[in-house]
Amino acid sequence: MTHINTKIQPYIVPGRRVHLSGIGGVSMCPLAEVLHGMGLKVQGSDMKDSATVEHLRSLGIPVTVGHSAQDIEGAEFLIRTAAIHDDNPEIASAHQKGIPVFERAEAWGAIMQRYENAVCIAGTHGKTTTTAMTTHIFMAAHADPTVMIGGTLPMLHSGYRVGKGDTIILESCEYCNSFLHFFPTVAVVLNVDADHLDFFKDLDDIKHSFRRFAQLVPADGHIVANADDPGAMDALKGLSLFTFGLDHPADCRGENLRWDHGAASFDIVIHGQVYTSLTLHTAGRHNVLNALAAAAAAYLLGISGEAVKNGLEGFSGAGRRFEYKGEYNGAKIYDDYAHHPGELHALLTTAKSMGYQRVICAFQPHTYSRTKSLFHDFVRELRAVDKVVLAEIFAARETNTIGISSADLAKEIPGSIYCPTLTDVADELRRLAQPGDLILTVGAGDIYTVGEALVKG
């Protein structure tokens, strides 16, 4: 299977000058640092100053605030984030001058070809956590990996690291087929579900994309797949797989599970032999599967069972993945990035197993198109908790041409409360909170600010 056609490779060479539009972004900052380390002359721009921008400046990378045509002066090519469109003055100027413009995924694809091992972790859900777990394992093995995660990993104090080892570990997103620019030697497929239906036609289209991703692996590489996920197994049927799972026969299995307040102790058994035994400090069955995926990738690259144990037992979660924020009026407050019904199911199932008197979920849907296409699935999952507080839909990249609101969800969820603003959500949670409650702020937008406001008092 061929990659999406790209001509960026000849530009990724020492001495070339590159401008990064949106350089402060979660995957652009590490890209800037990697390119800088390779000897390219890196410059960039971002809409605002930040700690990330200051870090890049401390490396000698000039960064301007705002976007203007003159910012690209001297650049031989541009790299942009998906959020920056052709009407951006930098991009428009580059097109006018005939300067090539590439997407960040194309650049990461070119870079990963320089590593012996490229572990690309894909799936509709769980990518960030599994990429973080894999990072912990390779760090415990002293493999000095280069890493790009779509979230913050406390161990790194960021979402990335630039190492000197022979392995690169990347969270690999299917949206807009970005991961088809990649060159995985180990492709991990956690699950395949209906999502991003503003880009994909339907679930079959998504499965086709994941199959193309897996087929990018060379003959001497590995495809790691979740034997328990029907979507993944259907998408990848007929391919040579190294499987992991709990419920189905698999090459890598979790066995002898013991549960304590949602957290699991278990053996990792590969081809009938115990690879290692460990206790996870992140709750939920879904995190056992994520750990098995990370362990399978590590095993295939010769990492010891001891490093897998040490890495996974030292992992306490990635930022915004069941992240403990504090207390308010005796209620424990956690935040989670879940924005798909499958993620909600995993999160709320785990929350209900932890022994709290009530589970209160403040949910902010993410994008109008996702809310509409998965409306009944969201209703089903949210009905499972004791109390639901609904924030208005977070628009992200969309405008509301559909005419949908979180108020429509509230009508279908008995006892739920619709709040037009985040201030209203915070006020409602203050009214509800009592000792013994677990309060969850959930969504991929800015709902996390509500939990932070409560903790501050």
Residues designated as active site: 127-128, 171
Three-class secondary structure assignment of 134-177? HHHHHHHCCCCCEEEEEEEECCCCEEEECCCCCEEEEECCCHHH
Structure token pair of residue 440? 């969850």
Max Cα–Cα distance, the chain, nearest Å: 63
Spatial CA neighbour of 83 closest among 398, 360, 403, 418: 398
How many angstroms separate the Cα of 164 from the Cα of each of 11, 143, 144?
22, 9, 6
Phi-psi region of 253 (alpha: psi -120 to 50; beta: other; left: phi over 0): beta
| Torsion angle, alpha carbons of 165, 112, 230, 344, to 10 | 80
Spatial CA neighbour of 167 closest among 122, 131, 125, 126: 131
Of the CA atoms within 13 Å of residue 393, those in its CB half-sphere come to 25
Structure token pair of residue 237? 């049927």
Kindly tell me the sign of the dihedral angle through the C-alpha atoms of 412, 125, 334, 365: negative
Q: In what order do the strands lie in the sheet with 77-80?
A: 63-65, 41-46, 17-21, 77-80, 101-103
Q: Please tell me the distance from the alpha carbon of residue 186 to that of residue 340, in angstroms, as a whole number.
A: 26
| Torsion angle, alpha carbons of 7, 8, 9, 11, to 10 | 120
Of all residues in the chain, what percent are helix, strand and coil, respectively (each to 5)? Answer: 35, 25, 40
